[in-house]
Amino acid sequence: MLEDTLDTPAEPEPLDSAVSELEQPDIQAAEEIDPSISIALDNAAAAVMEQIENVWDDVLQGIKARDRTLFVLLTSSGGVKPIDLKDDMIVFEVKNDWQVKRIEQSAPRRLIETVLSKCMGTNYRISCVVEAQGRENPNVRREQIRDSRKDQHVKAAINIFDADIIDVEHNQ
């Protein structure tokens, strides 16, 4: 019986899973140790959101060429707007639950993701939140950075000095 266990080698663990666990750092733990990592991530997300805002009209036109009904849904009543970025998922703010259900159906979702990814040059997924839900727990620093990046003087400083925004102070 002992010979049977010696003759059959144990299945080794796949090397890919062990390597992938080592390659994926714990970002949250790293942020707690070094707050500059969190600041850098917020700056990167703000830059991507700014890029999304810049191409959003092109995205809408691409959608309009393929599905006019979806285009109207995305532009009516103040429209749908990108509000946050979580990894490769862009979060859009919509006016009501009906819009969420309609946009997150398979075909409209695929179309939006395809056109958006084409305009951005990178694959993105989408998610929708109703206006009130999206604002209940926003990432305050990320919102402040996004707002600050819209100021022409801040834009100039970022471009000239290849800088990142590390904090936002408000004069009271």
Strand partners, 127: 91
Name the strands in the sheet holding 125-130, side by side, starting at the edge strand that comes first in the sequence.
Answer: 81-86, 89-94, 125-130
Residue 114 has pLDDT above 90, yes or no: yes
pLDDT band at 172 (very low <50, low <70, confident <90, very high): low
pLDDT at 40: 81
**Tokens 């009516």 map to which residue?**
76
pLDDT band at 166 (very low <50, low <70, confident <90, very high): low
Residue 58 has pLDDT above 90, yes or no: yes
**Ramachandran class of 57: left when φ > 0, alpha when ψ lies in -120 to 50, beta otherwise:** alpha
Greatest mean pLDDT among 8-22, 26-40, 93-107, 108-122:
108-122
Q: Could you tell me which residues come within 8 angstroms of residue 96 by beta carbon, excluding any fewer than 6 positions away? A: 130
Q: 134-142: long-range contacts (C-beta < 8 A, 24 or more apart)?
A: 134/83, 134/84, 134/91, 134/93, 135/93, 138/83, 138/84, 139/42, 139/84, 141/39, 141/42, 141/168, 142/42, 142/45, 142/46, 142/84
Which domains are assigned to the chain? 32-132+139-161 (3.30.300.180)
